[in-house]
Structure 1
Amino acid sequence: MPKDEIVTAPAAAGEPAERSVPRFEVELLKPHSHAGQDLLPGAKIKITAEQRTWLKSLGVVAGETPEK
């Protein structure tokens, strides 16, 4: 399986670009609802490090790379 990809989300309105939250692209292992959509295994989503840790603990996503 490919390693997680780090993607930087655009800064919110009025927020400096250097404060944008890093996001990780991960592949789902189980069905999951994300951003109001029901997704199936194999779908890729972009999530924060905290979300990735939580979804890994539930077995929804895999990933061997350390948090950054």
Structure 2
Amino acid sequence: MPKDEVAVVAPAASGDQVDRAAPRFEVDLIKPHTQAGISFQSGAKIKVTAAQRTWLKAEKVIAGDTQEK
């Protein structure tokens, strides 16, 4: 495409899904945990989605605040 040409991209239709990566949070495990078939020991740091973080907190596998990475 020549420099002076502008490509016009139509917006996604309302029914189309937009591919967005879910934000990840780095958490510290306080208990051993298996994620995606990989076993982690207490003290390991893993990255999880917000929903996974909520579940891990409820199961007392992680503790404290976590930050988005």
Normalising TM by the smaller chain, what interval?
A: 0.5 to 0.7
Counterpart mapping for 1:22-33 below 5 A = 22-33=23-34
Tell me which protein shows more strand as a share of its residues. Answer: 1
Cα RMSD of the aligned pairs, angstroms, is: 2.3
Q: Which one has the largest radius of gyration?
A: 2
Tell me which protein shows more helix as a share of its residues. Answer: 1
Q: Which runs of 5+ in 1 are unaligned?
A: 1-13
TM-score (norm 1): 0.65
TM-score (norm 2): 0.64
Q: Which runs of 5+ in 2 are unaligned?
A: 1-17
Identity %: 58
Structure ranking higher on relative contact order (CA contacts 8 Å, 6+ apart): 2
Runs of 4+ aligned residues of structure 1 deviating over 6 Å after TM superposition are none
